[in-house]
Structure 1
Amino acid sequence: IKGQWICPQTGVAFYNPAFDVTPNELISGIITERGVAYPPFAKSLEKLKH
């Protein structure tokens, strides 16, 4: 764009994860439009769906 590099040149090392890599033990809740889900998340998120 306008003669500027918008991506690293060859040989440049970088790390760009496609997903959040936060360890599970550091997550105490998931905030959604419908409320906050707490562990166990499968059960809690299911309740928020209805």
Structure 2
Amino acid sequence: VKITCSAPWSEPAEIDIVIGVLTATSIFVPLFASPSCFSPAHVRVRIHPHSR
């Protein structure tokens, strides 16, 4: 996973990463969290600004 931003930011932010597969026709299909659960598998990540 590579996350980029077109402009710098100064505050931490939360992003959701959804786990899935990309089909041959470029359609994203999210994977389920478990066989008995129909919610997409995801991770919430807190990111912080980074100065170079």
TM-score range with shorter-chain normalisation? under 0.3
Higher strand share: 2
Larger-Rg structure: 1
Higher relative contact order (CA 8 A, sep 6+): 2
**Structure-1-length-normalised TM-score:** 0.25
